[in-house]
Amino acid sequence: AQGLLVRMVMRKGVLFRASKLGYVEIGDPHDAVLPLLAREWVDSAPPLGLSELLQLLRRDELSHCFKDHALKGPERKQEWFERLQPMYPSPQSLEQWYPTLSDAVFGLKIMPLCDRLRLLYFGNLYQEWSEFVLADLGIYRYEKVEFSLESRGINERADIDVCLQLHACREALETCLELHALAERVIAIECGNPWLLMRRGKLLFRIGQQAERIQDWPLAMAVYRQSSYPGARSR
């Protein structure tokens, strides 16, 4: 169970097909996951939206799953999503989506806690747990640097919460369709930490750039006014 948990935490995302968790040190993932299910650290039947299902299943599996809709091989998954979304707006378990598929999906429920611990260890969320392992083995060696209290980016518990909020918004920007809602979400984040204020300003600057790309000039102007990041005023 510990080995399975470590593998899931170190991989990308929080949804994993059991068939993709075959490791010698773990054995049968269906057996290994039982203690994690008992502690409610993992969900054995997480609700899957259509976009998540499209990411988890292969194209041939999707063709069989939605055979009544005659999905064509050459079409991109994005085209499938646009066609199927109006008919399947609500999340379902894998068994509900695809009753005949002999597989399971595990959902990791403690990733927010793991991300918080990673932030405390590294001081950022762009370094991965693999670097922690390599450093622990002595393969990676980091120079020891003494930081004064004034130079530390995170000084209190509230700063950690703000950092996690900014990270979630930054990730959402990559695939965001509701740019106005995301901008309001970032503007609503309050903090008095100068370092985090600069990061918030940079994120608003990036949202402004994205608004320019889609020619949403009022939104771009609005977020640039809220940003203290260098270059925002000139934009």
Pairing label, strands 42-43, 105-108: antiparallel
Mean pLDDT of all residues belonging to the chain: 88
Neighbouring C-beta atoms of residue 14, cutoff 10 Å: 19
Model confidence pLDDT, tens digit, residues 53-107: 999 999 889 888 988 887 766 778 888 888 888 999 999 999 999 999 999 999 9
Given a contact cutoff of 8 angstroms between Cβ atoms, the answer to whether 117 and 6 are in contact is no
Local structure of 180: helix, strand or coil = helix
**Percentage of the chain modeled with pLDDT above 70:** 97
Query: Which residues have a Cβ under 8 Å from the Cβ of 104 and sit 6 or more positions away?
Result: 17, 18, 30, 44, 45, 94
Instruction: Look at the alpha carbons of 25, 29, 35, 36 in this order and tell me if their dihedral is positive or negative.
Output: positive
Question: Closest Cα to residue 5, out of 210, 222, 97, 25?
Answer: 25
- The pTM of the full predicted model, rounded to 2 decimals, is 0.74
The domain locations on the chain are 2-108, 146-226
Model confidence pLDDT, tens digit, residues 131-179: 877 877 788 787 777 777 666 778 788 999 999 999 989 988 887 768 8
Distance CA(128)–CA(118), nearest Å, equals 8
Distance of CA 217 to the CA centre of its chain: 28
